[in-house]
Structure 1
């Protein structure tokens, strides 16, 4: 039997002091992704079956390039935030949790950067 109260056990553990920001960013990216996803889906659907030259002409517009880059950035950032919550909630081994978090963040960052680079390369040429 321990004389330490539950409050004493909890004190000192503290919080990451990042929960509110994380929650807000997840909501902001979700709200931003709603119109961006609709726009991207209609844009891609309208180019279905078109030639490469038509796609290049489409990406010649700075508005279209900026919108696709915003869509990709918001999507990958939102995915990163969501996966972080799932990993933190369901992986209990601290070492494994850290490894999976680092691997996931790295993979999403690399894929996001490569995706945005592909859009920019298409827009500005090889």
Structure 2
């Protein structure tokens, strides 16, 4: 019977050295969303129920357009990071890599589509 310390038994079986990065990424994006979502609701609520011309004029102003763009971007980046963590925890092999690539592509495509729609609305 070998007498090993807990550290010696766990050596080489530890983290893949990316968990801390995911944690801080999720923490930063959730703090950003904590600030951005109420601002987005406030700015979007002002335009809600208005006609098309009023909405275009409203989102031509810099503050509502910037808040909407930041909310779209930070929200989808937060989604991507959370979905990637979930996929890494519950799937293995080729499926894991394909799912992560798919989620990444969908997230960046949604960011691009949202920002494109916002630019088209603002210009």
List structure 1 segments (4+ residues) > 6 angstroms apart after TM superposition. Answer: none
> Please, what TM-score do these two structures have when normalized by structure 2?
0.84
> Please, what TM-score do these two structures have when normalized by structure 1?
0.82
Quote how far apart the aligned CAs of 1:42 are. 2.2
Q: Is the Cα–Cα contact under 8 Å of residues 22 and 85 in structure 2 kept in the other structure?
A: no
What is the 5 A alignment of 1:19-98? 19-91=19-91, 93-98=92-97
What is the total number of aligned residue pairs between the two structures? 117
- Distance in 2, matches of 1:59 and 1:123, equals 5
| Structure 1 residues 32 and 9: alpha-carbon distance in aligned structure 2, compared to 1, 3 A threshold | closer
| Structure 1 residues 45 and 63: alpha-carbon distance in aligned structure 2, compared to 1, 3 A threshold | closer
Quote how far apart the aligned CAs of 1:20 are. 1.5
Is there any run of 5+ residues in structure 2 with no aligned partner, and where? 1-7
- Distance in 2, matches of 1:116 and 1:17, equals 33
Match of 1:3 in 2: none
- Distance in 1, matches of 2:46 and 2:66, equals 18
Quote how far apart the aligned CAs of 1:62 are. 1.4
